[in-house]
């Protein structure tokens, strides 16, 4: 089974914010792998799942929580 991967540039800086967002994103996309690379200059959000990823829903969730997000992949 092929997995879907999306990579986003964000303005998330704090590990606590990242953990809270991961929890919300996993509710939005059950069964997905979600992580942030806050060491990267683009504060990367990476989502991998076996289903298509609704990037608009991801962007909406991020904006609703006060964060900017741009799709890179």
What residue segments make up the domains of the chain, in order of their start?
A: 4-71
Interval 52-71: pLDDT, tens: 999 999 999 999 999 999 99
Q: Note the CATH number of domain 4-71.
A: 3.30.70.100
What is the reported pLDDT for 3? 85
3-state secondary structure of 13: coil
DSSP string, 15-65: HHHHHHHHHHHHHHSTT-EEEEETTSTT-EEEEEESS---HHHHHHHHHHT
What is the reported pLDDT for 73? 64
19 within 8 A of 26, measured Cβ to Cβ: no
Q: Residue 1: pLDDT above 70?
A: no
Find the mean pLDDT for residues 4-19: 97
What is the reported pLDDT for 2? 74
| Cα separations in angstroms, 66 against 2, 10, 12, 14, 20 | 32, 11, 9, 13, 12
Q: Which tops the pLDDT comparison, 2 or 11?
A: 11
Find the mean pLDDT for residues 25-41: 97
């Amino acid at each position: 089974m092929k997995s879907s991967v999306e990579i986003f540039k964000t303005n998330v800086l704090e590990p606590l914010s990242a953990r809270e967002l991961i929890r919300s994103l996993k509710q939005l996309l059950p069964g997905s792998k979600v992580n942030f690379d806050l060491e990267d200059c683009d504060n990367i959000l990476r989502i991998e799942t076996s289903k298509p990823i609704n990037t608009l829903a991801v962007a909406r969730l991020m904006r609703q929580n006060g964060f900017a997000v741009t799709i890179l992949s």
